[in-house]
């Protein structure tokens, strides 16, 4: 079964959930805020997608970080530490199947290719 990682009040997560439900794609929702995220899962995602693709630098959370913190995120280890301590900086949603990331963010065209 697919697992959708995100936070419930995120617009992209809401769009993804609506799309999946409309197309009858079964999934489990994992709320970062309530359940957190493990270092091993973030490491696996980084290996699959690259840490640069997981950090949402366009979001409010990133913009609210001080410049020194932003500038310190230059390695996978630093990125993972940031994502562990501030899950809102992770792009949303991340959807995986059998421990493999199949989609990041909501993009209807990609969802049609992956899920239909």
Residues 6+ positions from 21 with CB-CB distance below 8 Å:
none
Q: What whole-number distance in Å separates Cα of residue 1 and Cα of residue 23?
A: 15
Q: What whole-number distance in Å separates Cα of residue 79 and Cα of residue 27?
A: 27
Let me know if 10 is a catalytic residue.
yes
Rg (alpha carbons) of the chain, rounded to whole number: 14
The active-site residue, picked from 4, 6, 7, 10, is 10
Residues assigned a catalytic role: 10
């Amino acid at each position: 079964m697919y697992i959708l990682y995100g936070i419930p009040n995120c617009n992209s997560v809401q769009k993804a959930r609506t799309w999946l439900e409309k197309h009858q794609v079964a999934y489990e929702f994992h709320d970062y805020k309530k359940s957190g995220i493990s270092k091993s899962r973030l490491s696996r995602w980084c290996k699959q997608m690259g840490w640069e693709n997981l950090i949402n630098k366009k979001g409010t959370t990133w913009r609210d970080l001080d410049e020194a913190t932003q500038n310190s995120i230059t390695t996978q280890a630093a990125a993972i530490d940031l994502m562990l301590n501030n899950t809102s900086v992770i792009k949303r949603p991340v959807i995986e199947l059998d421990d493999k990331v199949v989609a990041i963010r909501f993009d209807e065209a990609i969802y049609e290719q992956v899920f239909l």
